[in-house]
């Protein structure tokens, strides 16, 4: 790997988060290649130093080079950050895996579960790049709205890898006076927390759309965290991870922040809109919509109770009325809080 100042960095994906990451790393002095699927976005970055579709009115540094060719973005890179929606990660890897060198550290930022296989992102990367990738793979997650990071608002995240040396390489590359990264070995916990918080955020948005108030949202977030923790621990995660940035930190942000796409979906469902109408005019992906289905199936596989995720699925895909879902959640069998 090159010395720190000479790191060869690529970002795969030019949505709001991928573009923000490229901007952040370029402002630290790295030369960054960003792979851009849409030609008009590539031209916008190249000519106007702006991603007019996904991060408008944010000026991008000159040391970001946009390319439409995966080979150019993946070959001979020290650090490759994947920032494509979770349901498309396998497709991009299939096209580009032959260009990824054995020395490249890979950091994934997608927060989702592959619906067709119920696999976490680290498992998808292992499928496509072999098990040896574990030593060079990390996941970045935590409370981090792209727009706020692009405006240099103080932000803290987790970077998880089974190999702490890989996590620390990412930590060093990302961290500065307004962006702080913490390392952990709990890849499963970080990826489960980052994925399922989007499902709970849809539920929180629905509660807001119904005008249920702060008591309801607080209860929903807390019980949502219990669901996430139950499933995560059953899958091998540490329960402490869910009390950290990629757990409760990201959950609170996504359930309460006005920039949350998943909360927006729920808000509009709560106000009576249909899912297909909401998704048809959303430019960016709300990961929780498909993750809700994956979460329900994973919970069934592991024998874990996830009543909020279950009701979100029924509201999104079976037309269940939000009022009926709330009633059902509130009248379930009474239980011990820690049960």
Active site residues: 197
Alpha carbon distance 46, 300 (integer Å): 47
- Output b/e per residue, 275-311; b: 16+ Cβ within 10 A: beebeeeeeebbbbbbbbbbbbebbeeeebebbbbbb
* Residues in contact with 88: Cβ distance below 8 Å, sequence separation at least 6, in sequence order: none
Q: List strands edge to edge, sheet with 155-160.
A: 64-67, 32-35, 9-12, 79-82, 105-108, 137-141, 155-160, 179-184
Helices (H), the chain: 16-27, 39-48, 70-74, 89-96, 121-129, 146-150, 164-174, 187-209, 214-234, 250-256, 261-270, 275-280, 288-302, 307-317, 322-330
Note whether 84 and 13 are within 8 A (CB). Answer: yes
Bridge partners of 181, per DSSP, are 157
Alpha carbon distance 120, 109 (integer Å): 12
């Amino acid at each position: 790997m090159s010395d720190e100042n000479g790191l060869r960095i690529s970002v795969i994906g030019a949505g709001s988060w991928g573009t923000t990451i490229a901007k952040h790393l370029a402002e630290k002095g790295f030369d960054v290649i960003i792979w851009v699927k849409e030609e008009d976005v590539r031209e916008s970055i190249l000519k106007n130093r702006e991603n007019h579709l996904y991060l408008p009115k944010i000026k991008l540094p000159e040391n970001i080079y946009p390319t439409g060719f995966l080979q150019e973005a993946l070959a001979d890179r020290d650090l490759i950050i994947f920032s494509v929606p979770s349901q498309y990660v396998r497709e991009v890897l299939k096209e580009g895996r032959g260009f990824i060198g054995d020395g490249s550290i890979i950091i994934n930022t997608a927060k989702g579960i592959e619906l067709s296989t119920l696999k976490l992102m680290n498992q998808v990367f292992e499928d496509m790049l072999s098990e040896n990738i574990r030593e060079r793979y990390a996941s970045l997650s935590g409370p981090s709205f792209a727009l706020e990071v692009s405006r240099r608002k103080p932000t803290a995240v987790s970077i998880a890898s089974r190999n702490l040396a890989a996590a620390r390489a990412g930590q060093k590359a990302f961290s500065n006076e307004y962006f702080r990264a913490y390392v952990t070995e709990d890849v499963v916990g970080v990826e489960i927390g980052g994925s399922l918080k989007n499902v709970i955020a849809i539920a929180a948005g629905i509660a807001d759309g119904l005008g249920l108030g702060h008591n309801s949202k607080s209860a929903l977030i807390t019980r949502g965290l219990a669901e996430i923790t139950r499933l995560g621990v059953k899958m091998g995660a540490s329960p402490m991870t869910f009390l950290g940035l990629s757990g409760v930190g990201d959950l609170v942000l996504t359930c309460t922040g006005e920039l949350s796409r998943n909360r927006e979906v729920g808000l509009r469902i709560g106000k009576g809109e249909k899912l297909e109408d909401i998704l048809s005019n959303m430019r960016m992906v709300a990961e929780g919509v498909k993750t809700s289905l994956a979460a329900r199936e994973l919970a069934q596989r592991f024998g874990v109770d996830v009543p909020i995720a279950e009701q979100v699925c029924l509201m999104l895909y079976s037309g269940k009325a939000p009022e009926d879902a709330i009633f059902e959640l509130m009248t379930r069998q009474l239980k011990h809080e820690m049960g």
